[in-house]
């Protein structure tokens, strides 16, 4: 039996459709949005994303 390697392409913000999807998801957030995973609230998540972007 041979081994099988499965590769999954990771999404990147440098791909236009992925970036558009992310922008759409951010634009649908509001003060009542609840986390789908993790413990950050909306403000904390947006701050986290903007700080990460400043690093690049």
**pTM: predicted TM-score of the whole model, two decimal places:** 0.53
pLDDT value of position 11:
86
pLDDT, tens digit, for every residue of 7-53? 778 888 889 999 999 889 889 988 788 778 888 888 888 888 787 66
Task: Give residue 18's pLDDT.
Answer: 92
* Plot region of 27 (φ>0 → left; ψ -120 to 50 → alpha; else → beta): alpha
pLDDT at 2 (0 to 100): 64
What SS3 class is residue 4?
A: coil
């Amino acid at each position: 039996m041979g081994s099988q390697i499965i590769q999954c392409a990771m999404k990147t913000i440098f791909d236009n459709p992925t970036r558009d999807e992310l922008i759409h998801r951010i634009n649908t957030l509001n003060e009542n949005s609840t986390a789908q995973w993790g413990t950050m609230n909306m403000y904390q998540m947006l701050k986290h994303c903007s700080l990460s972007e400043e690093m690049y």
